[in-house]
Structure 1
Amino acid sequence: MEHSPVRTTIETESGIPFRLVYSDTKSPQNELPDHLHDWHEIIYVYRGQGSIFIDTGLEDMQEGDLFLIPGSTVHRALPDAGNPVTSSALFFSPGLLASTAGGMSSSLLHPFERCRKRRIYKRQLNHAEQAQVSAFIDDIHAEFRSDHHLSSHAALLRLQLLLIFLERLESATGPGHATTSLPAPSWLSSILSDIDLKLRNRLTLPELAQQAAVSPAHLSRAFKRYTGMTLTDYVLARRVIMAKEHLLNGDETMAAVADACGFDSLPHFYRQFKKLTGTTPAAYRRTMVRHR
């Protein structure tokens, strides 16, 4: 059976669209596939080292790093083989806050919107900030482990307190700083930017390799090394993200969306969109519009 490299669904046992993967150590062999989901994600690193590809950039991961990753952002962690990262990851649906925090929800989500706009996803925390974030995560973990009937709601309240802390941190100290961890070749950034500009067109490995002045085989190997995914998978993920934006922000026909996002045909669009998201484009539009 063909296995998609993009994880699209997040299972939760709490009964609400909110999940915590607590203090988990991952090696390159058991690291989760690259994510392409609609939930926002917070990653806090306790120890170890590695790198993480987010959107179109590569950053290092080390003790005290905090990553805010907005929904529908391609990302893939690449743990170090000798000293893998131990981290906690919080996943939650943005709509969850709209239903519980009322008019405050947009303010709580400001940090994610800033990250998306600036393409800066990482903040290096000082010791006091690390202790505070770690305590919030520990409290959420304790609530999820409790069998009290209000535990999931208590966990959600602690998530809101964590988001308030992060918003205040931004106001007090300014944005985080993006750092590139690996000496990625200069042509990689050029290729990533060009892919975004030309998603509507047919993109071929030989053409991209010619632009980068490297062989197709070298481009393929290097792209996988630095991003953790194949060029084909990355392009497909970016096209699905673009399609999601078209579906939410307009009333275009499905054929028009497929054409605008570079899919070969309407059946190809339907097939690939469902493969990566678990739902059809029409069902996705209906669901997301209903929850706005």
Structure 2
Amino acid sequence: MAPIRKPFRLDPSFPLEVVYRGVRYSDNELPDHVHDLFELVYIHEGRGTFFIHDTVYDKEAGDLFLIPGNTVHRAFPSADEPVVSTAVFFAPALLQSSYASDHYNPLQSFDTARKKKQYKISLPEHVKERIEAAIHAMVNELATQEAGYQQAIALHLQQLLLQLFRLPATRNSANAATGIAPLWMLAALREINRDPVQCGSLASISARANVSPGHFSRVFKELTGMNVTEYVNTQKLIRAKEQLLASDDTIEAIAISCGFQGMRHFYQNFKRLTGVTPRQYRVLHHAAT
């Protein structure tokens, strides 16, 4: 199954959504998906695993996951202990006013997660309490919507991110892969993410991993929920999204540089992932900046 685009209907002037204490079962969890919004996931109860980018993590109560925009991810709740979690989705534009002159970056924890490819954070107990309090305060503001509630929510989010910013750097990189995925698969995933255009076919990727194509495909599907071709195409589309916003290259040139030889194939896959055409995506995002 190809990754889906999670639908959001956000107010452009206040791009934030909170899903509070949602109960996640295996049959109501989203398949592999990506989106432009940054996502913060806090686990209240239950157990499961989380596939993010190229790593599989255990998850349990008190865990925090940071998912930068355009990061492929999928949750796998336990059948016996379904996960109860809160997800906060927001656009970085919401935090523009919180940048200060003392080198503070409210998205530093997300930047660290992306740079080190480690998306799970271990939290001290006092920080867990503060994060839970900030989440609860945001939910209350959303429920009551008293005058100034949007500003209040933004302030609570900023306070939450400040707590993460103040954690020692080791806290942002303390959690590596849990050992659920074999090392050869993690290496293959990193190779695909590094260069999805030149990573080669299933046969060549599995040969470099020293396993058969059939075994590689089975393990890959179990870990990511996608087949190899779908995953590679998703990484190509993520690269195309980045180039559409970072350059003035033509759409055709971007499609070719990202490994799509046919424009019809590129347009179909891009719209399936984002909900809009490449041209609409570029215009919408340029208009918002």
Give TM-score, length-normalised by structure 2. Answer: 0.89
AA in 2 matched with 1:20? V
CA deviations over 1:2-39 (Å, ceiling 9, x no partner): x7532243234897210011111212111122231111
Map of 1:119-158 to 2, 5 A cutoff?
119-158=117-156
Cross-structure match for 2:210: 213
2:93 is matched with which residue: 83, 92, 95? Answer: 95
Map of 1:1-292 to 2, 5 A cutoff?
4-12=2-10, 16-98=14-96, 100-101=97-98, 107-170=105-168, 174-201=171-198, 203-292=200-289
AA in 1 matched with 2:161? L
Please identify, of 223-232 and 76-85, the stretch whose mean Cα deviation from structure 2 is larger: 223-232
2:282 and 2:11 map into 1 onto residues whose CA distance is 26
2:222 and 2:199 map into 1 onto residues whose CA distance is 24
2:244 and 2:190 map into 1 onto residues whose CA distance is 23
2:130 and 2:58 map into 1 onto residues whose CA distance is 22
In structure 1, the residue corresponding to 2:253 is in which secondary structure? helix
> Alpha-carbon deviation of 1:209?
3.1
Give yes or no for contact 1:8–1:276 (8 Å, CA) kept in 2: no
AA in 2 matched with 1:35? H
> Alpha-carbon deviation of 1:182?
4.0
Residues 18 and 260 of structure 1, relative CA distance in 2, 3 Å threshold: same
For structure 2, which runs of at least 5 residues remain unmatched after alignment? Answer: none
Q: CA RMSD in A?
A: 2.5
> Alpha-carbon deviation of 1:261?
0.9
Residues 103 and 278 of structure 1, relative CA distance in 2, 3 Å threshold: farther
Give yes or no for contact 1:136–1:158 (8 Å, CA) kept in 2: yes
1:174 and 1:68 map into 2 onto residues whose CA distance is 13
1:286 and 1:206 map into 2 onto residues whose CA distance is 39
AA in 2 matched with 1:255? E
2:41 and 2:18 map into 1 onto residues whose CA distance is 10
AA in 1 matched with 2:71? T
Percent identity of paired positions between Structure 1 and Structure 2: 38
CA deviations over 1:39-60 (Å, ceiling 9, x no partner): 1111111122111111111211
1:30 and 1:234 map into 2 onto residues whose CA distance is 21
1:179 and 1:229 map into 2 onto residues whose CA distance is 22
1:194 and 1:102 map into 2 onto residues whose CA distance is 34
AA in 1 matched with 2:55? G
2:40 and 2:272 map into 1 onto residues whose CA distance is 25
1:283 and 1:94 map into 2 onto residues whose CA distance is 20
